A and B are shown apart, each in its own frame.
Chain A
Amino acid sequence: MFKRLLPVLLIVCSCVTGHSQGKLSIENVHAAYLRNSGTIMENNQIKGYFFLYQSDKIDRQTNEYTLQILDQNINKVIDIKFEDSKQLSLLEAAYNNSSLAFLFKNNDNKTLDLKIYSIDGKLKYTYSRGFDIRTDELMKRYQTLHTDEGTNQNIFDLGERGYASGYPVRDGKQVSYEVDFYSSQTRKMWTYVPVEDEEKYANAEYLGSTDSLIILQVLKKNRKLSKKVAPQIVAINFVTRKKAFEIDGENDEYILLPSSVINLREQGKILLMGNYYDKGDKVLNDYSQGIASYEINSKGVVLSKKYNSWTGDFASYLPTNQKGKIESIGYLYIHKLIQSNGKLFVVGEGYKRQASAGGIALTALGMLAGANTSAGVTKIVVTDLVMMEFSSEYKITNATIYNKTNNTALGGPASDYGSQHMLAAYLKSTGSFDYEFTTGDADNSNFTVCYSDFVRNAEYKGQTFNSIRYNGEKFVTDKIELKSKASRMIVLPAKTGSVMIVEYFKKTKKLELRIEKLG
Chain B
Amino acid sequence: MSLLKSVTQCLLCVCLITYAVAVSAQSEVYKLGGTDAGALQSLSDKHENVFKQTIAALPDEHKKDLLQLYKARWDNARQKFEKKEIYTAPAPSAYLSELIKEIVSNNPVLSRLPLSCYYSRSGNPNASYIGEGIILINMGLFTRLENESQVAFVICHEIAHQYLKHSEKTIADYVARINSKEVQEELKTIKNSKYRRSQPLEELTNSLTFDTRRHVRQNEAEADSLAVEFLKHTRFDPAEVIATLKILDKIDSDTISTNECLKKLFNSERYPFQQKWISKEEGLLGGHAKLQSDEFEDSLKTHPDCKLRISKLEPVINKLNGGSKNVIDAGRFRHYTQLFRYEVVEYAYSAGNYGRSLYYTLELLQRMPSDPYLIANIGRVLNGIFYAQKDHHLNNHVDLPAPAYPSHYNEILQFIQNLYLENIASINFHFLERYQDKLKEYPPFMEAYRTSIQIAEK
* A residues apposed to B, CB below 8 Å: 13, 15-21, 23-26, 29-30, 40, 47-48, 55-59, 64, 69-78, 95, 97, 100, 119, 441, 446, 469, 471, 476, 480, 495, 497-498, 514-519
Contact = CB atoms under 8 A, between A and B. Distances in A.
A3 B92 CA distance: 57
B201 A29 contact: yes
Q: Which 5 A-B pairs have the closest CB atoms?
A: A56-B198, A24-B187, A73-B400, A75-B289, A519-B390
A17 B208 CA distance: 12
B264 to A, nearest CB: 25
B395 A26 contact: no
A13 B198 CA distance: 11
Given A69-B284, A471-B420, A76 B289 contact: yes
A487 to B, nearest CB: 20
A119 B284 CA distance: 8
Given A18-B175, A29-B190, 5 more contacts: A56-B196, A56-B199, A71-B285, A72-B284, A471-B420
Given A58-B195, A495-B281, A21 B64 contact: yes
B402 A73 contact: yes
Contacts of B417: 495, 497-498, 517
Contacts of B281: 72-73, 495
A505 to B, nearest CB: 17
A180 B7 CA distance: 71
Contacts of A498: 417
B422 interface: yes
B422 A471 contact: yes
A30 B283 contact: no
Nearest to A498: B417
Nearest to B423: A471
A89 to B, nearest CB: 20
A26 B187 contact: yes
B209 A15 contact: yes
Nearest to B199: A56
Contacts of A21: 64
A23 B292 CA distance: 34
Nearest to A43: B282
Nearest to B175: A18
B391 A519 contact: yes
B395 A72 contact: no
Given A69-B284, A517-B389, A497 B197 contact: no
Interface string B396-418: 00001111000000000000010
Interface in B329-370: none
Contacts of A519: 389-392, 421
A515 B417 CA distance: 10
A345 B454 CA distance: 31
Given A17-B68, A119-B285, A514-B395, A24 B191 contact: yes
Task: Please indicate which of the listed interface residues A69, A72, A78, A476 has the most CB atoms of chain B within 10 Å of its own CB.
Answer: A72
A129 to B, nearest CB: 27
A97 B286 CA distance: 7
Contacts of A24: 184, 187-188, 191
A100 B283 CA distance: 12
B276 to A, nearest CB: 8
Contacts of B164: none
11 contacts: A13-B205, A18-B69, A20-B65, A29-B190, A47-B283, A57-B195, A58-B195, A75-B400, A480-B392, A514-B395, A516-B395
Contacts of B198: 30, 55-56, 64
B179 interface: yes
B389 A15 contact: no
Interface in B107-138: none
B288 A23 contact: no
Interface in B250-292: 276, 281-286, 288-290, 292
Contacts of B39: none
Contact of A20 (B64, B188, B422): B64
Contact of B400 (A441, A469, A515): A515
A77 B283 CA distance: 10
A29 B393 CA distance: 36
A56 B65 CA distance: 28
A516 to B, nearest CB: 5
Contact of B288 (A30, A73, A441, A469): A73
Nearest to B418: A497
Contacts of B175: 18
Given A18-B175, A75-B402, A516-B394, A26 B191 contact: no
A48 B389 CA distance: 22
Contact of B196 (A57, A476, A480): A57
Nearest to B393: A516
A72 B198 CA distance: 28
Contact of B284 (A95, A441, A516): A95
B201 A30 contact: yes
A10 B72 CA distance: 25
Most central of B179, B292, B420 by chain A CB within 10 Å: B420
A519 B385 CA distance: 11
B417 to A, nearest CB: 7
A511 B204 CA distance: 26
Contact of A78 (B187, B283, B292, B400): B292
Contacts of A29: 187, 190-191, 197, 201
B332 to A, nearest CB: 42
Interface string B59-72: 00010110011001
A72 B62 CA distance: 43
B55 interface: no
B434 interface: no
Contacts of B20: none
Interface string B288-323: 111010000000000000000000000000000000
B113 to A, nearest CB: 28
B207 to A, nearest CB: 11
A77 B289 contact: yes
Nearest to B413: A73
Contacts of B179: 20, 23
A64 B288 CA distance: 28
A188 to B, nearest CB: 24
Contacts of A469: 420
B14 to A, nearest CB: 36
Contacts of A20: 62, 64-65, 179
Contacts of A59: 195
A497 B187 CA distance: 47
B294 to A, nearest CB: 12
Nearest to B286: A97
A40 B284 contact: yes
Contacts of A19: 65, 178
Nearest to A77: B289
A24 B187 CA distance: 6
Nearest to A474: B422
Contacts of B292: 78
Contacts of B420: 446, 469, 471, 497
| Max chain B C-beta neighbours (<10 A), residue from A71, A72, A515 | A71
Contacts of A56: 195-199
Contacts of A515: 395, 400
Which of A24, A446, A476 lies at the interface centre, i.e. has the most chain B CB atoms within 10 A of its CB? A24
B284 to A, nearest CB: 4
A29 B188 CA distance: 9
Given A57-B196, A119-B284, A517-B394, A26 B289 contact: no
A519 B68 CA distance: 42
Given A19-B65, A56-B197, A516-B394, A25 B187 contact: yes
Contacts of A71: 283-285, 288-289
Nearest to A95: B284
B392 A57 contact: no
Contacts of B184: 23-24
Nearest to B191: A29
A452 B190 CA distance: 46
B337 to A, nearest CB: 34
Contacts of B290: 77
